[in-house]
Amino acid sequence: MEKLSVAQARQEASIGKQACLQGWVRTRRDSKAGFSFIEINDGSSQGNIQIIADANLENYESEIKNLTAGCSISAIGELKASGGKGQSTELHASQVTVHGWADPDTYPLQKKRHSFEKLREWAHLRPRTNTFGAVARVRNCICNSIHQFFQEDGFLYVHTPVITASDCEGAGEMFQVTTMDLEHVAKNTIERLDYQFDFFDRPSFLTVSGQLEAETYACALGKVYTFGPTFRAENSNTSRHLAEFWMIEPEMAFCELSENMDLAEAFLKRVFGDAMEKCAEDMEFFNLRIDTTLLETLNGIMSSDFVRLPYTEAVEILEQCGESFEYPVQWGVDLQSEHERFLTETHFKSPVILYDYPKIIKPFYMYCNDDEKTVRGMDVLVPKIGEIIGGSQREHRLDVLEQRMTEQDLVIDDYWWYTDLRKYGTVPHAGFGLGLERLVQFVTGMANIRDVIPFPRTPGNADF
Ligand code: 4AD
Ligand code: MG
């Protein structure tokens, strides 16, 4: 017996086939004419398939008539054309096997619709809902598209470490990794921790970015990218921050800032296009239920150029726009999300790439411009999210880099391997980091980042 997914079984080409379908019951209705309609979903598509179970099936009274939402079943039968609305096929069952029951008194996902906040408490069950199934499929499609985009363009996938001793962004937002018994340490009130007793013989952390290590591979292999988990202990409870998120970081040797911007723009457009093409049904769902401007926005972005604007000009726009912001703007401040959103949503109504930021607000590794005030950093801003990508051309001149490290109180010797790249065959190079969850948020229109990753990690929350 051929096993078909619900997605396959729903295609007209499957009509006439004998098949076995397996999934979780969404609804059951009984007809007076002596049969039941059971809708199941197996996660392979947004749509369910209807199974028609006749009253003469041997377990009809004992089992089939007791099926409720959440029960798991296998059904064998013939796929036929369906007269029902919104479906082209249905399965006429000759056998229905129940694998697992779901007590309707306690199963949380009964018909009633729950808020996304409530569903976060059932992160283990929420993938069975329409919205979270769709998010999972689109997230998967995006990941596939990301790998394809880079692989087709000759980038090499490199794995950078999750545990590291260096703070790439210099923001001090790292989770420490230790095998020391912290309770013992606390009880014995040791004056100073002796790291020779720790696993790595020195303070070690979960990485905030694979960039520095990716640079070493780019400076040997040309074009590389990383795609892995990153961690930030920033205590910001916003709809756009997670303590654990996935980042994609391309890094290119012999590359300057404008080429880096070209790559970021082509990359985002490719991902948007693939999501709309390969997940059409799910994207329609998001457009209908989550954000009715979604498809229009994505299509608009695909067919226009991103605005590219120096930070200094952006600040002028913000100072003169007459909008009252919570955080005042002046040259030299780090832009807040409200400023970024004003630029991209209200002023330009388009994605915006801001570049040439004041060096005082950016990390040590960014290339210093001749004005000695700005660095070749870039942020890609999109409506509703604000910053989705952060990147830069890297400082490849040893003397300038060391000066910047000193200015930022970094111990140059700790980064000896990083400065070595500037001693031996240094080249202009550039790259960026894209937060996967912000991208999934943007593509699906989901308002909260906690709803686009299976098990969100946020301050005070590491359940499941
Ligand atoms: O701008 P960021 O901090 O840049 C870097 O880490 C560079 N080392 C990247 C590089 O040049 N290779 O972070 C990059 C992106 C942000 O634009 C944002 O999309 C995402 O990572 N991001 C977060 N996403 C979710 N939760 C957080 N707490 C995030 N912090 C950054
Ligand atoms: Mg950033």
In this prediction, residue 113 carries a pLDDT of: 86
pLDDT grade for 172, boundaries at 50, 70 and 90: confident
Question: What six digits make up the tokens of 399?
Answer: 């003397």
Instruction: Average the pLDDT over 19-34 and give the result.
Output: 96
**CA of residue 198 to ligand 1 center, whole Å:** 29
Asked if residue 89 has pLDDT above 80, the reply is yes
At 203-214, the pLDDT tens digits run 999 999 999 999
Residues 258 and 263: their CA atoms lie apart, in Å, by 9
At 365-374, the pLDDT tens digits run 999 999 999 9
**CA of residue 222 to ligand 2 center, whole Å:** 24
pLDDT grade for 192, boundaries at 50, 70 and 90: confident
pLDDT grade for 83, boundaries at 50, 70 and 90: confident
Instruction: Average the pLDDT over 399-406 and give the result.
Output: 97
pLDDT cut 70: percent of the chain above it: 99
pLDDT grade for 197, boundaries at 50, 70 and 90: confident
Instruction: Average the pLDDT over 194-223 and give the result.
Output: 95
**CA of residue 68 to ligand 2 center, whole Å:** 47
Which ligand has the nearest atom to the CA of 366?
Answer: 1
Closest ligand 1 atom, CA of 249? 12
Mean of all residue pLDDT scores within the chain: 96
Closest ligand 1 atom, CA of 236? 28
In this prediction, residue 182 carries a pLDDT of: 86
In the chain, residues under CATH classification 2.40.50.140 are 2-100
Asked if residue 118 has pLDDT above 80, the reply is yes
pLDDT grade for 188, boundaries at 50, 70 and 90: confident
Asked if residue 86 has pLDDT above 90, the reply is no
In the chain, residues under CATH classification 3.30.930.10 are 127-173+208-451
**CA of residue 241 to ligand 1 center, whole Å:** 10
In this prediction, residue 463 carries a pLDDT of: 86
At 221-240, the pLDDT tens digits run 999 999 999 999 988 889 99
Tokens 């990690």, residue located = 457
At 283-309, the pLDDT tens digits run 999 999 999 999 999 999 999 999 999
* Contacts of 69 by beta carbon, 8 Å cutoff, 6+ apart: 25, 26, 27, 102, 104, 107, 109, 110, 111
First to last CA, the chain: 37
In this prediction, residue 214 carries a pLDDT of: 98
Q: What is the pTM of this model?
A: 0.96
pLDDT grade for 189, boundaries at 50, 70 and 90: low
Residues 65 and 96: their CA atoms lie apart, in Å, by 11
Residue whose CA is closest, atom 23 of ligand 1? 435
In this prediction, residue 436 carries a pLDDT of: 98
| CATH of the structural domain 2-100, one choice from 2.40.50.140, 3.30.470.20, 1.20.1090.10, 3.30.830.10 | 2.40.50.140
In this prediction, residue 1 carries a pLDDT of: 87
In this prediction, residue 5 carries a pLDDT of: 98
Residues with CB under 6 A from ligand 1: 168-169, 209, 211, 232, 234, 241-242, 245, 247, 249, 387-392, 431-435, 437-438
In this prediction, residue 138 carries a pLDDT of: 98
- At what angle are helices 436-444 and 257-278 packed, to 10 degrees? 50
Residues 224 and 242: their CA atoms lie apart, in Å, by 25
Instruction: Average the pLDDT over 16-44 and give the result.
Output: 96
Asked if residue 440 has pLDDT above 90, the reply is yes
In this prediction, residue 131 carries a pLDDT of: 98
Asked if residue 190 has pLDDT above 70, the reply is no
| CATH number attached to the domain at 127-173+208-451 | 3.30.930.10
**Residue 88, phi then psi, degrees to nearest 5:** -105, -15
Instruction: Average the pLDDT over 410-438 and give the result.
Output: 97
